[in-house]
Structure 1
Amino acid sequence: MRKGWKSGGSAIALTLLLPGISLAEGRAELPRAPLESEIPLDWAAPAIPHAPAPAMAEPPAPMPLDWQAPDISAEIADEKTRSRIESIFLAGTAPAMEAGRLEAITAFYAARQYRPLWSENGAWSDNATAAFDRIAKAADDGLDPAAYKLPAPPSKDADTLALADIELSAAVVAYATEAEGGRIEPRSISPLLTAKPEKPDAGEVLDKVSGARDVAGVLDSFNPSHDGFRKLRVKLAELRRTAKTHETLPVVEKGKLIRPGMQDPRVPVLRARLGLPTAQDTTYDSALADAVREFQRSKGLNDEAVVGNLTITALNEEISADPVADILVNMERWRWLPRDLGRRHVFVNIPEFHAWVMEDGSAIHDTRVVVGTPANQTPVFSDAIQFLIVNPYWNVPYSIASKEMLPRLQQDPTYLARQGIEVVHVRGNRRRVLDSTAIDWNNVSLKGLYFRQPPGERNALGNIKFMFPNEHAVYLHDTPSRSLFGRSSRAFSHGCVRVEDPFALAEVLLGVENGWSKEKVKRLIGGSERRINLKTPVPVHLAYFTAFVDDGNTLKTHKDIYGHDSRMRAALGLAGH
């Protein structure tokens, strides 16, 4: 950027237009040259504002020699500018600009002595053109280009030129904010969505683009770099390019079970739905069985290749679904995750009823899990596993004690005793175990009382739990209810995540190289609680993805067990998409 802008008319116009900047009334004048005694050794005369522009296809007309900022009071300029700039940030689905972001833009311009960032000699710079082009492609990123109000081409009028420069900066910040932090505040969808999306600082955004040779590349870098996001973005472009819709897919009629080797008139429809070569043969062959198994696995169903009503329902749900909306909703969810998931981390996908331990981008361990019911949902957030407890007590949450256990006790005072659950009275630092069968549960307050289940075979947490203290008091743990892992849909818990083989998970997290084999951890079973600290906390991400693209570039979907998708569609303006 040429130094002449510092003392030229547009710099003064920027000073007038930025909130909080005031000048005395009257025409703004160019600064006087310093006296000889004031001239520092490295002083250079400012460039003349009407110096010729660099060679362009259609060079702008030169500025008039007497061109100056218009006579406009700072108060009016503040009001106009703030209104115009705030409208940019409020144009999206949700406000992308938080308190202080407008002030950060003001501070950025102040730090550069109010020189324009995007214009040169009254015309947009190459960087401005690159910013326009990249933001115009925001739909490719799963964003809404209409949310970023791009300014009209600049004119030679100084205040219009200055305002356009600031508006483009505001649009760049708004795009970067939504590209990195998303368009929706997770808690606005559900109080159990407590992920904390990272949002860039406005000043840092402008610092990055101001010194960039590749402005488009800098803006693209604010989008998630996760492989799952990138695959969804590619699939989104493919669907839009080919105008491929779900409306042409045939419906599979419900009826009797279809097993491999059987003949059934619905077999040709199944072949068409699962992408196999069309044929009129009604024999359920091995190729179709493999395709059915793969589909069932993608939906969390038993992969026995037997086509029953659950499989047919899952197939037909894809017809009523909107794949573009599914992709947009799940691209938004990737923005809620930390950019750095951790070199080694635990990833739980709630609708898939599955968890993985990832290391350097590859799965080194995976396991089935049981998650919360729709009434007791597993929350969505990121944390870090800090320690394990073998032989854990189960301290019953107050919500379960009051809503579920108390009504049963009022009908049957022996209920807790039969479950092996103790009633503990707390008074100050004193704790006393009470005889639950001697309490009149119809006339008692739970204040000062809590229920706990000692370690043992009947303990609801099983033999081990993985702790990452959080506001929801949830964690990963073992369970005595082993049969539930054989179910296709595994939403049965009160919100915690039950792990099918917790001791295998413990071995992976603690590390055999550190002396913690699966067998060694198991030898601690029995007796009192045993705490094992992890040398390095392992990030854990409880996520909710209902759509993803597999390695074969096929879009896979899972049932929206908690109804988050529909609320997100409405928030993103996709309800009728």
Structure 2
Amino acid sequence: MKMMRILPKSFVLGMSLIAIAPQLTWAQSQTAYIQDQVTRARTNPIINPKWGSFLLRTDRLDKLYSLRGYQSIWVDSTGTPNAMVNTLKNILLSADRHGLNPADYWDAQIEKGYQATMKNPGVQWITFELLASEALVRYVTHLSTGRFDPELIDTDIKFKKKEFTEFQELNAAISYGPASLAANLENFAPTHPRYKDLLSILSTLKTQKNSGGWATINSPGFALKLGVTDPVISQLRARLNQLGYSISNNGGNTFDSEFDTVLRKFQAANGLTSDGIIGTRSEVLRALNFTPSQRIAQVEANMEKLRWLPKNLETRHIFVNLATAEFRLFDETGRVFYFNTVNGQAFRRTPSMRDQITFVNLNPYWTVPRSIAIRDKLPLLKQDRNYLQKHNMILIEEATDEEVDPSTIDWKNMTARNFVYYIRQLPGPENALGVVKFPLQNPWAIYMHDTNEKNLFAESKRHRSSGCVRLEQPLELAAYLLQDQPGWSLYDIQNYVPLNDNYIPGEIDKKVTLKKPMPVYFMYLTVEKGEDGSMRFIDDVYGQDTRVSKAISNKRSGDELF
């Protein structure tokens, strides 16, 4: 999927410093003058001042100032910057603790304007007042909603750009004064635990970077495994500790049982083969040798993605991490389920999105998507005209919706153009959807389901599907979702669906509606914190981190990405 180029779309009016900040006429009150400037949104929605590397969005400023009667925030009655300014400056210059770029909010030009206003407040005050407010609004907007439209990054991201609407909360945060401003602005950041985990990881990595980072660990030239002794083992112990994998140094240079246990845990947590072996070209060494700076960029990209989510997730929800291929379900009691999934391949990515389950489908048919029928099934049919029969599938003509005998088709000369059929697999234990399906509401035919390839859940690399999400514990999930409806316990469901070829299933294609929809989030997060505080870094199989990082670092034209 090709990344869409983010094009400039603002209309800059190019107003000069003289136009926006004329000599102050003290006959005109501060509030009236501020109101005049920020209500220009009716005719001049964007003003380009001389100071600052970004534009003034007067519509946003008007929403803030109208709540406070257009009273100034950053200057006193003489136009001199007040005590709030230094507090704001320190907050904006510390934006990197949230993975944001301080220069996007307080740069050298704003600093120059600040100093100029201190020296000559009567002339410069209005420009500085509005620039400081624009910087604040930009900061809290980025902190809460992200820096750009997610759908412009790639076609497999289905989250729409959130609009910042918390102007009343922002005005309240300002009104409490400088002493509590920093704490109050923290409330605009995402509040869910994943974001807080990444904040912690980012802080740790920055500390390590500022301490000089870490040295590359080189292979000794032979495989490291249980019982081996080599000086590199002590380096590996230190690195694992730096990443939060608690291990003692008592073993020194020996690959002992404790090191073996921690190594396997590291491998499993980071999507590597958990075999307790570090080969000469090991993926373990590659993972451990990413520099703090590289990991910081990865964390920042994932923090940006978490801002696409609602500020507070529902107490009861499903969260599928597409990068780690893991399923979690939460409710009022905490985490209920945590198991593996199989997600879309790199060239058939499962989209990042929010959706919901409204019903459970037992003993489902599988109607093969046309893209899969053409790319995957048609070549197999050309090789074996009995393929459909062997896999409990039927052929249906699109125009009549009637079943067609596959033996009557000239498969040798069949092409995508004249393939006017669709393939349907009948319910049963060998159905590609397994015995239960969890339909979603999206238009891309993406859903969750059981599978007839259960062996894949034990693999370390589980991006193996054509886009839908396969679940390791589908019957247990179905029973949980239907627990408030009699007759659908886990035992009941197990007796309803075909678990082997000798069992006659219950009703075909049975749909059971949930009493309350279950929210579902598909997110692609390559950084997580383990339950023990260890850091998890997953390879960017989809390339999504790369595209997000590129958008973050993209050279901006004015305020285009914001």
Alignment TM class, shorter chain as reference? 0.7 to 0.9
Cα pair 1:140 1:233 within 8 Å, conserved: yes
What residue is the counterpart of 2:14 in the other structure?
A: none
Q: What secondary structure does 1:229 align onto? A: helix
SS at match of 1:18: helix
Structure 2 letter corresponding to 1:373: Q
TM-score scaled by length of structure 2: 0.80
Q: Measure the CA separation in 1 of the matches of 2:140 and 2:339.
A: 36
- The within-5 A match list for 1:267-306 is 267-275=233-241, 276-278=247-249, 283-304=254-275, 306=276
In 2, are the aligned partners of 1:176 and 1:205 still within 8 Å (CA)? no
Alpha-carbon distance, 1:106 to partner: 3.1
Change (3 A) 1:120 1:374: same
Query: Residue 192 in 1 paired to residue 164 in 2?
Result: no
- In structure 1, distance between residues paired with 2:232 and 2:170: 59
> Using the alignment, how far apart are the partners of 2:73 and 2:392 within structure 1?
70
Match of 1:132 among 75, 83, 89: 89
2:433 to 451, 461, 465: 461
- Please say which of residues 204-213 and 319-328 is displaced more in the overlay: 204-213
The partner residue of 1:82 within 43, 47, 57 is 47
Counterpart of 1:546 in structure 2: which amino acid?
T
Partner Cα distance (1:208, 1:172) in 2: 14
Deviation at 1:147, TM superposition (A): 0.7
- The one-letter code of the counterpart of 1:220 is E
Give the superposition deviation at 1:436.
Answer: 2.4
What is the aligned counterpart of 1:405 among 377, 387, 399?
A: 377
Deviation at 1:460, TM superposition (A): 0.5
Distance 2:426 2:222 in 1: 49
C-alpha contact 1:346 1:538 (8 A) present in aligned 2: yes
* Aligned residue number for residue 102 of structure 1: 58
Show the counterpart of 2:126: 162
1:57 maps to none
SS of 1:317's partner is: helix
Counterparts of 1:134-153 in structure 2 under 5 Å? 134-149=91-106, 150=110, 152-153=113-114
Which position in structure 1 is the counterpart of 2:329? 357
Q: Aligned residue for 1:215?
A: 181
User: What are the superposed Cα offsets for residues 416-462 of structure 1, whole Å, 9 maximum, x if unpaired?
Assistant: 333332222234xx521112232234356457532221211221000
One-letter code aligned to 2:529: V
1:328-372 CA-to-partner distances (Å, cap 9, x unmatched) read 122212212222221121111122221111234832221111111
AA in 1 matched with 2:262: A
Gaps of 5+ in 1: 23-74, 91-96
> For the structure 1 residues 357 and 253, does the alpha-carbon distance in structure 2 shift closer, same or farther, using more than 3 Å as the test?
farther
Partner of 2:483: 511
For structure 1, which segment, 465-474 or 172-181, has the greater mean C-alpha deviation from structure 2 after superposition?
465-474
Moved more, 415-424 or 286-295: 415-424
- Structure-2 change in CA distance of 1:246 and 1:348 (3 Å): farther
Partner-residue secondary structure (3-state), 1:535 = strand
Output aligned runs, 1:545-556, within 5 Å: 545-556=525-536
CA distance in 1: counterparts of 2:531 and 2:466, whole angstroms: 33
Change (3 A) 1:167 1:443: same
2: CA distance, partners of 1:337 / 1:110: 29
- Contact 1:484–1:490 (8 Å) recurs in 2: yes
Distance change >3 Å, CA 159–CA 439, structure 1 → 2: farther
Q: Which residue of 2 aligns with 1:345?
A: 317
Give the count of matched residue pairs: 503
Q: Sort the Cα spacing of 1:558 and 1:253 in 2 relative to 1 into closer, same or farther, 3 A.
A: farther
Say if 1:238 and 1:485 are closer, same or farther in 2 by CA, change over 3 A.
closer
Q: Which residue of 1 aligns with 2:194?
A: 228
Distance 2:300 2:431 in 1: 42
Say which is worse superposed, 358-367 or 525-534, in terms of deviation. 358-367
Distance in 2 of aligned mates of 1:493 and 1:343 = 29
Q: Secondary structure at the match of 1:320?
A: coil
Cα offsets for 1:508-564 (capped at 9, x unmatched):
232278653211112221241111122111211111121123344432211222122
Question: Which residue identity lines up with residue 407 of structure 2 in the other structure?
Answer: T
- Contact 1:370–1:484 (8 Å) recurs in 2: yes
- The residue identity in structure 1 corresponding to 2:540 is D
Name the amino acid aligned to 2:432: A
* Contact kept? 1:246, 1:320, Cα under 8 Å: no
Please tell me whether residue 435 in structure 1 is matched to residue 392 in structure 2. Answer: no
Deviations 1:195-243 (A, max 9, x none): 2353312744654445445332332111111222223223322332342
Q: 1:538 aligns with which of 500, 503, 518?
A: 518
Q: CA deviation at 1:296?
A: 1.9
Aligned counterparts of 1:123 and 1:471: Cα–Cα separation in 2: 56
Q: Aligned-pair distance for 1:108?
A: 4.6
Higher relative contact order (CA 8 A, sep 6+): 2
SS in 2 for 1:199: coil
> Quick check: 152-161 or 527-536, which moved more?
152-161
Which secondary structure state, in structure 1, belongs to the residue aligned with residue 422 of structure 2?
Answer: strand
Code of the residue aligned with 2:135 in structure 1: it is A
State the partner residue of 2:7.
none
Q: Secondary structure of 2:398's partner?
A: strand
Q: How is 1:378-397 mapped onto 2 (pairs within 5 angstroms)? A: 378-397=350-369
Corresponding letter in the other structure for 2:302? N
Deviation at 1:127, TM superposition (A): 4.1
TM-score (ref. length: structure 1): 0.78
Match of 1:252 among 219, 242, 249: 219
Q: Deviations over 1:362-400 (max 9, x none)?
A: 322211111111111111112222111001111211221
Cα distance, 1:112 vs. partner?
A: 5.3
- Cα separation, 2, equivalents of 1:362 and 1:245: 39
139-148 or 418-427: which moved more?
418-427
Query: Structure 1 residue aligned with 2:548, among 568, 571, 575?
Result: 568
Instruction: Return closer, same or farther for 1:283/1:82 CA change in 2, 3 Å cut-off.
Output: closer
The amino acid of 1:320's aligned partner reads: F
Q: CA deviation at 1:89?
A: 4.8
Say yes or no: does 1:423 pair with 2:423.
Answer: no
1:271 match: secondary structure: helix
Conserved? CA contact 2:190–2:312, under 8 Å = no
SS at match of 1:498: strand
For residues 282-327 of structure 1, the C-alpha deviation after alignment (integer angstroms, 9 at most, x for no partner) is: 64322112211221221234545x3154993133233135222222
Where does the alignment leave 5 or more consecutive residues of structure 2 unmatched? 1-24, 242-246, 498-504, 556-562
Pair member with larger Rg: 1
1:265-290 CA distances to partner (integer Å, 9 max, x unpaired)?
76445434433445786643221122
Work out the CA distance in 1 between the residues paired with 2:447 and 2:361: 11
- Whichever residue aligns with residue 494 of structure 2, its letter is K
Within the candidate set 495, 502, 505, 1:523 is matched to: 495
Which has the larger displacement, 235-244 or 519-528?
235-244
SS, match of residue 289 in structure 2: helix
Paired residues of 1:196 and 1:337 also in contact (CA < 8 A): no
Match of residue 241 from structure 1: 207
CA RMSD of aligned residues (A): 3.4
Rounded to whole Å, the distance in 2 between the matches of 1:521 and 1:391 is 10
| Equivalence for 2:466 | 494
Deviation at 1:192, TM superposition (A): 0.6
Whole-angstrom distance in 2 between the partners of 1:6 and 1:320: 59
Given the alignment, which residue of 307, 326, 350 partners 1:335? 307
State whether residues 195 and 380 of structure 1, in contact with CA within 8 Å, keep that contact through their aligned partners in structure 2: yes
1:56 corresponding residue in structure 2: none
What residue in structure 1 maps to residue 11 of structure 2? none
Mapped to 1, the partners of 2:193 and 2:330 lie a distance apart of: 13
